[in-house]
Amino acid sequence: MGSDPGNIVPPADAEELGTERYDGKYPIVIDGLQNAFGDNVIHQDLALKVRRGEILGVVGGSGTGKSVLMRSIIGLQRPTGGTIEVFGRDITAAGPDEVIGVRNHWGVLFQGGALFSTLTVAENVEVPLKQFYPELSAELMHEIARYKVVLTGLPGEAASKYPSELSGGMKKRAGLARALALDPELLFLDEPTAGLDPIGAANFDKLIRDLTDTLGLTVFLITHDLDSLYAICDRVAVLADKQVIAVGTIPELLESDHPWIQEYFNGPRSRAARDSRDRAAELTVAEGDAAREQSAPAAALHGKITGA
């Protein structure tokens, strides 16, 4: 395995998370952030706080620097000014390979999936495990890889495939499985539903919402997909004019009179997305009742697990 991407430096302290500056409320705190490529200023005095346990949608026109913002938070892009604290640690003070203490507490799904093309899906999921927890036995790693792949909605057989053998939607799911490999608290998703068909995108949205609720994740979700915004985001941050001009729930944002926000949320596509969300809500209420009635026998079936 000459091209095994897992061979970097072993982590210094893989278990320690957070400093006294992290109060458990805001895993990401950005203040006064400035990013520029030469004379081209992308962010100027940008501030943003991400709450624990929420799905924060990040929207903005193309080229407003959403991806650059994400890359700065995960330490791939060194800002020209300002501070970014993740779990109370200053990311901007460290180089891209140094922010290891927090690196095992986040997972990233890149825009293109970025799966290692010479490894199978299962091996892709095992790369971060091998990197951070070499003491895990090979057997356990295989088991972990398999259930993570199934957890993201892929059939178990997909784990043995190479990325070039997967469809676009399957690649996204495999990328998500790798992002979830370490049971991270923070998940970064860069346009996860771009390029998926509406049904695939809706399923992916639901998957992210379910995983967030069951695993207690905090999600930083860059998206252009209005359906995703309405369906799964707790709050939305709007990037424009080099700053986060507004953060809040969609009803709160609708009250803003910023022209871009108005145009974005009151355009025809947005209204269609809102209507479909409302219709979906009615449906889920009905389904939810049915599910609750069924859940009693289901619990009996899982009878091996009894609460404390």
Partner 1 sequence: MREWADFSWQDGDGDSGRGAIALHGPMLVSSVGPLDERLRAIDRPISTIDLSDAGQIDTVGAWIVWRLAEQHGAEITGAGDQATRLLEVVQGAQSSADIRPQQLGMPMRALEDFGRFMVGLGHGTLRVIAFLGAIVLSFGGMIRHPRRIRGRAIVRQMELVGVASLPIVGLMSFLIGIVIAQQGAAQLSQFGAESLSVNLVGRLTLRELGVLMTAIMVAGRSGSAFAAQLGTMKLTEEIDAMRTIGVAPMEALIIPRILASVLMMPLLGFYASVIAILGGAVISDVTLGVPAVSFLLRIREVVPVYDLYIGLIKAPVFGLIIGLAGCYQGMQVEGNAEEVGLRTTQAVVQAIFMVIVLDAFFAVFFSNLGWN
The entry of partner 1, Mg ion, ligand ADP, none near residue 292 (CB within 5 to 8 angstroms by kind) is none
Sheet hosting strand 40-50, strand order edge to edge: 40-50, 28-37, 81-86, 89-90
Q: What's the angle, vertex CA 219, arms to CA 217 and CA 225, rounded to 5?
A: 140
5: its two tokens: 């991407």
d(CA 72, CA 57): 17
Residues of span 149-168 touching partner 1 by CB under 8 A: 149-151, 155-157, 159-164
The entry of partner 1, Mg ion, ligand ADP, none near residue 14 (CB within 5 to 8 angstroms by kind) is partner 1
User: Do 227 and 277 contact (CB within 8 A), yes or no?
Assistant: yes
Residues 6+ apart with CB under 8 A from 157: none
Compute the Cα dihedral for 5, 123, 145, 135 and give only its sign. Answer: negative
Q: Closest distance between Mg ion and the C-beta of residue 114, in Å?
A: 13
Residues 6+ apart with CB under 8 A from 209: 55, 231, 232
Helix (H) or strand (E) run with residue 32 in it: strand 28-37
The entry of Mg ion, ligand ADP, partner 1, none near residue 122 (CB within 5 to 8 angstroms by kind) is partner 1
The mark string for 289-308 relative to partner 1 (x by CB under 8 A, - otherwise) is -------------x-xxxxx
The mark string for 130-149 relative to partner 1 (x by CB under 8 A, - otherwise) is --xx-xxx-xx-xxxxxxxx
d(CA 172, CA 105): 20
Residue 183 contacts partner 1 per CB under 8 A: yes
- Judged by CB under 8 A, the number of residues near partner 1 is 46
Q: Which stretch binds partner 1 (CB under 8 A): 56-64, 212-220, 253-261, 274-282?
A: 212-220
User: Do 238 and 223 contact (CB within 8 A), yes or no?
Assistant: no
The residue among 67 and 124 lying less far from Mg ion, judged by its C-beta, is 67
The entry of Mg ion, ligand ADP, partner 1, none near residue 64 (CB within 5 to 8 angstroms by kind) is ligand ADP
Q: Which residues bind ligand ADP (CB under 6 A)?
A: 37, 42, 60, 62-68
The entry of Mg ion, partner 1, ligand ADP, none near residue 62 (CB within 5 to 8 angstroms by kind) is ligand ADP
291: its two tokens: 């599910």
Q: Closest distance between Mg ion and the C-beta of residue 271, in Å?
A: 25
Single-letter amino acid code for the residue at 180: L
The residue among 16 and 197 lying less far from partner 1, judged by its C-beta, is 16
Residue 289, phi then psi, degrees to nearest 5: -60, -45
The residue among 191 and 227 lying less far from Mg ion, judged by its C-beta, is 191
Q: Which stretch binds partner 1 (CB under 8 A): 127-135, 186-194, 254-262, 282-290?
A: 127-135
Sheet hosting strand 218-222, strand order edge to edge: 106-109, 186-190, 218-222, 55-60, 235-240, 243-248
d(CA 254, CA 256): 5
Residues of span 24-63 touching Mg ion by CB under 5 A: none
Residues of span 4-23 touching partner 1 by CB under 8 A: 14-15
* Residues in contact with Mg ion by the rule CB under 5 A: 67
Applying CB under 8 A, the residues found at the interface with partner 1 are 3, 14-15, 104, 117-118, 120, 122, 129, 132-133, 135-137, 139-140, 142-151, 155-157, 159-164, 182-183, 214-216, 302, 304-308
